[in-house]
A and B are shown apart, each in its own frame.
Chain A
């Protein structure tokens, strides 16, 4: 699956996208913590900091670590405060 970073998460990750294997959102978070240590400050024990949001395939926003992920999924990670 693919992870795409936007806004502050992109700044912290230092890259715009990443290909990873993960069966759940929780697994993905663990992988990101290792592969993109700059994201550490944006993560909590339960998931992302409230200032960060995750969206699956442009449809639903997800936060439950048990959320299943499939091959070919596209997870967008962005700043939660979308406004200006």
Chain B
């Protein structure tokens, strides 16, 4: 058995209940590492690129990584890889915590599921033994309730990933949840639901050995120490939600379906105000020393709040009631839907109502009650919710009137909370992203908030920076390490090469890891090519092109400029 890996993936056909361990060569593991990279490779090998993502033959892959189970901080993460039912393109979404460790201990580097169970089931993987059990008692339950019930039934040592009611109803941006966290984007919950799998329960005893344990312990100790420093203070002390006021100050806070970049009422939904009205506690994933989760009290319960949820359900919908935003975010978690796509789809519908193109007069900007009602309808796929459950791109195709021009999406994936006209390196990252508009696969906003570029006037020099952040993200998602660590590294590739050496024994170099990142990016692109991708998809909606951002006339991204940036990106990628 190779160090750090098991050297196989567990392939399960839930139609027949048949399971087999398929060998993974050392070459494949070294070339694709784990997580997103390994998932992309397996998706290609299993023909997932051309399958209907909600069909029985479509694979969904839970990929672990060489660093999972090691003492390296933030390494307890897993990637869920499939073709997206929202974008019909490559999708990888990541989540954290005990499921990653327990899943790897079942004895495989990935779990690949195809087929469709005869009845709604929980897929139980007990140290590699596989069985399906009925879930009549948890069907329709919110994610966390389902997890609790299944652990009570199966045993507290199981770790469980589940879908909520939205995944059962194939909402195209349904999530897979574990321990309150979500593999959120792109609709992996709908893919799992299409297989009639409500949850996956894992436990195991199969540990991987490390090639150089003493070296690994030293590296882990050093990384943990650095993770307590200034580079992660923002996440630890304030959480990502603190971005809200910063972005508002810069005029880059998407507001009212990207109609403008400032929200006058932003202070009323800021974390600074929320913590006045709601008690706040902190938590962290298993094996993490950062502790970025900021959890607010809400009624008898609690809700985790991230910037992306705050902007999508707050400023993007014009909602200035902080409690309403918390409640909306909590409901999304219960139903198991991606908050960014939810907020984007609702905000798009609000603008359609405003223009008189959608006859839902209650669905108005600024109404927290309307956002909550829309979320309920999406989760139930009822009324206008049946349209919005399809995402903003499909909703625009249904509504017509040229509304696709302001549907806030790229390749069908709703745009995160970064105004593209005012953050133009990020605009390029959104346009070329394999899974669509995405802040987790391109960290180009870091470049825009630096002295490397003029954020409102991107030049061809911006392209290499966008590529660098995309390559770094590909590595972090494959090793896997949390991106909140990115600021602690002096030379990311050099340092992670050392970690990989300590775990696997490979004499891997920084140069090799740079090649690995490009290989992983290419594998994602290969999935898209087979799925029908064309270069025309690498763009932004009409709203963002040529016209200035209303609150900032200097923030204008011309069609010609974006075209040049995308062309240069393709040239530098060698595509």
Give A1-32 interface residues, CB cut-off 8 Å to B.
Answer: 4, 6-8, 11
Chain A residue contacts of B237, Cβ below 8 A: 8, 11
For the complex, what is the distance from the CA of A3 to the CA of B245, rounded to whole Å?
16
Q: Does A70 contact B (CB under 8 A)?
A: no
Chain A residue contacts of B251, Cβ below 8 A: 58
Q: Give which listed residue, B231, B307, B450, contacts A84 with CB less than 8 A.
A: B307
* A49, B445: Cβ atoms closer than 8 Å: no
* B443, A83: Cβ atoms closer than 8 Å: yes
Q: Does A82 contact B (CB under 8 A)?
A: yes
Q: Does B449 contact A (CB under 8 A)?
A: yes
Shortest beta-carbon distance, A57 to chain B, in Å?
11
For the complex, what is the distance from the CA of A6 to the CA of B253, rounded to whole Å?
15
Give B419-454 interface residues, CB cut-off 8 Å to A.
Answer: 439, 443, 445-446, 448-451, 454
For the complex, what is the distance from the CA of A60 to the CA of B448, rounded to whole Å?
10
Chain A residue contacts of B193, Cβ below 8 A: none
Shortest beta-carbon distance, B228 to chain A, in Å?
12
Chain A residue contacts of B230, Cβ below 8 A: 8, 41-42, 49, 51-52
Q: Does A80 contact B (CB under 8 A)?
A: yes
Chain B residue contacts of A60, Cβ below 8 A: 451, 454
Give chain B's interface secondary structure class: helix
* B243, A53: Cβ atoms closer than 8 Å: no
For the complex, what is the distance from the CA of A83 to the CA of B451, rounded to whole Å?
16
Q: Give which listed residue, B308, B445, B454, B487, contacts A51 with CB less than 8 A.
A: B487
Chain B residue contacts of A42, Cβ below 8 A: 230
Q: Does B417 contact A (CB under 8 A)?
A: yes
Q: Does A36 contact B (CB under 8 A)?
A: no
Give A50-67 interface residues, CB cut-off 8 Å to B.
Answer: 50-53, 55, 58, 60-63
Q: Does B306 contact A (CB under 8 A)?
A: yes
Chain B residue contacts of A82, Cβ below 8 A: 243, 246-247, 445-446, 448-449
* A61, B451: Cβ atoms closer than 8 Å: yes
* A84, B308: Cβ atoms closer than 8 Å: yes
Q: Which residue of B lies closest to A67 (CB)?
A: B451
Shortest beta-carbon distance, A56 to chain B, in Å?
10
Shortest beta-carbon distance, B77 to chain A, in Å?
17
Chain A residue contacts of B446, Cβ below 8 A: 80-83
**A51-B231, A53-B450 given as contacts; is B246 within 8 A of A79 (CB)?**
yes
For the complex, what is the distance from the CA of A13 to the CA of B246, rounded to whole Å?
16
* CB 8 Å contact bits of B447-465 with A (1 = contact, 0 = none): 0111100100000000000
Q: Does B357 contact A (CB under 8 A)?
A: no
* A78, B231: Cβ atoms closer than 8 Å: no
Q: Give which listed residue, A8, A41, A61, contacts B238 with CB less than 8 A.
A: A8
- Number of B positions contacting A (CB below 8 A): 33
* A84, B246: Cβ atoms closer than 8 Å: no
Q: Does A69 contact B (CB under 8 A)?
A: no
Q: Which residue of B lies closest to A53 (CB)?
A: B449
Q: Does A33 contact B (CB under 8 A)?
A: no
Shortest beta-carbon distance, A25 to chain B, in Å?
12
Q: Give which listed residue, B246, B450, B484, contacts A6 with CB less than 8 A.
A: B246
Chain A residue contacts of B241, Cβ below 8 A: 84
Q: Give which listed residue, A8, A62, A63, A84, contacts B233 with CB less than 8 A.
A: A8
* A4, B234: Cβ atoms closer than 8 Å: no
* B246, A80: Cβ atoms closer than 8 Å: no
* B238, A84: Cβ atoms closer than 8 Å: no
Q: Which residue of A lies closest to B240 (CB)?
A: A84
Shortest beta-carbon distance, B39 to chain A, in Å?
23
Q: Which residue of A lies closest to B272 (CB)?
A: A10
* A80, B451: Cβ atoms closer than 8 Å: no
Shortest beta-carbon distance, A24 to chain B, in Å?
16
Chain A residue contacts of B250, Cβ below 8 A: 55, 58, 76
Shortest beta-carbon distance, A13 to chain B, in Å?
13
Shortest beta-carbon distance, A58 to chain B, in Å?
6
Chain B residue contacts of A11, Cβ below 8 A: 237-238
* B449, A84: Cβ atoms closer than 8 Å: no
**A8-B238, A41-B230, A60-B454 given as contacts; is B246 within 8 A of A78 (CB)?**
yes
* CB 8 Å contact bits of B531-561 with A (1 = contact, 0 = none): 0000000000000000000000000000000
* B249, A84: Cβ atoms closer than 8 Å: no
Shortest beta-carbon distance, B459 to chain A, in Å?
14
Q: Does B526 contact A (CB under 8 A)?
A: no
Chain A residue contacts of B448, Cβ below 8 A: 82
**A8-B237, A60-B451, A61-B451 given as contacts; is B249 within 8 A of A81 (CB)?**
no
For the complex, what is the distance from the CA of A79 to the CA of B307, rounded to whole Å?
14
Q: Give which listed residue, B238, B439, B450, B486, contacts A7 with CB less than 8 A.
A: B238
Q: Which residues of A contact B (CB under 8 A)?
A: 4, 6-8, 11, 41-42, 49-53, 55, 58, 60-63, 76, 78-84
Q: List 23 A-B contacts (CB under 8 A).
A: A4-B249, A6-B245, A6-B249, A7-B238, A7-B243, A7-B245, A7-B246, A8-B233, A11-B238, A49-B230, A50-B487, A60-B454, A76-B249, A76-B250, A79-B233, A80-B449, A81-B446, A81-B486, A82-B243, A82-B246, A84-B240, A84-B243, A84-B439
Assuming A76-B250, A84-B307, what are 13 further A-B pairs, CB within 8 angstroms?
A: A7-B245, A7-B246, A58-B249, A61-B449, A78-B449, A79-B246, A80-B446, A81-B446, A81-B487, A82-B448, A83-B240, A83-B443, A84-B439
